[in-house]
Amino acid sequence: MITFQIKRPDEAIRQALVDRINSLAKPKGSLGRLESLALQIGMIQQTLHPVLSHPVNVIFAADHGIADEGVSQSPKEVTRQVIYNFLNGGSGVCFLARQHGFEMKIVDGGVDYDFPENPRIINRKIRKGTRNFLHEAAMTQEEVEKALEVGAEIVTLCHDEGCNVISFGEMGIGNTSVSSMWMSCLTGIPLIECVGAGSGLNTEGVRHKYNVLKAAQDNYKGDGSTLDILRYFGGIEMLMAVGGMLRAAELKMIILVDGFIMTNCVLAASRLYPEMLSYCIFGHCGDESGHKKLLDYLHAEPLLNLGLRLGEGSGSVCAYPIVDSAVRMINEMHTFEEEAITKYF
């Protein structure tokens, strides 16, 4: 099993960062969330002058056996169709990536389709979708280990190319069901509070989804450990994201967290290595049922609340300009001393 050496940022620089932020020519605390963001980023990078370099949005893609139970509004073939839309630059996250200067990396971790060779798709297919966890474990331990390794490998590649701020997205019909299972099993929050409409289920569809997932939860006979829950309820692309997040924290990168699915990946990653939370900036609170409850559980403070529920990393990329503003604030604002302004606090 791959392991990670993750440490919380050294606290020694904290007071110097606070003093730097408070010395900027403004009323103390008047830039609110930008100030706490600048402090967090300065702590991550251990500098009074942080920089953001080569942002990347990594999309991990895979299919899910549980989708065969009708738990999603969309059929499984939509996974591969949306990947082609990524390649054509036409998806929701694509315009945001162009707008905010993100590179996009697309990783086929387990799509139930054979893509023709394409240099813009990173082929790391472990298998063609997970097994149906209503009836059996979605993944084997070996598949879990491989997924974590692939996620770490991709982030190492991004880091070697100069990236120090990374967003994760996902594509895989059925992955809100996996997320609901992870959330309920890892937090103890009742499953009914973790199940939502996903890509657009109506009330009857949500009820059916809950009934399927409740039956799967009742069927589970594992040991209840974090790794066993991740294995049994699966999600190849989600486990790749977990591995990627853990490597990013190990490399002291800024992790931009997207919506319900990626927040559940943070939940899983933090159960394995709690220190990784210091590196996470939560982009938004989405409309998927359960997301706000999960953010509250993690004591996370999301930057945006725009009613988003697309996934793909769209919410974290959309929030990036606020992160950029925080870094510009600490680097570009003049201090009281520089401008010979009397401190007015």
Looking only at the bridges linking them, the beta strands covering 56-62 and 103-110 are parallel
Residue 188 gets the label, from left (phi > 0), alpha (psi -120 to 50) or beta, of left
Sequence-separated (6 or more) residues with CB below 8 Å from residue 180: 191, 194, 195, 196, 213, 290
Instruction: Round the CA-based radius of gyration of the chain to a whole number and report it.
Output: 20
Long-range contacts of 223-226 (CB under 8 A, 24+ apart): 224/185, 226/186, 226/268, 226/271, 226/272
Name residues whose C-beta falls within 8 Å of residue 223's C-beta, 6 or more positions apart in sequence. none
Rounded to whole angstroms, how far apart are CA atoms 318 and 316?
5
Whether 264 and 182 have beta carbons less than 8 Å apart is answered as yes
Q: How far is CA 130 from CA 126, 162, 168, 342, in A?
A: 9, 33, 20, 63
Alpha-carbon distance of 208 to 76, in angstroms, equals: 18
* Rounded Cα distance, 135 and 65, in Å: 10
Closest listed residue to residue 143, CA positions, set 65, 260, 59, 247:
65
Residue 312 is among the residues annotated as catalytic for this protein:
yes
Cα angle, residue 300 at apex, residues 294 and 301 outer, rounded to 5°: 125
Q: Which of 312, 332, 337, 339 is catalytic?
A: 312
Q: In what order do the strands lie in the sheet with 121-123?
A: 121-123, 103-110, 56-62, 165-171, 254-257, 280-282
User: For residue 61, what are the β-bridge partners?
Assistant: 108, 171
Residues labelled as active-site residues? 312
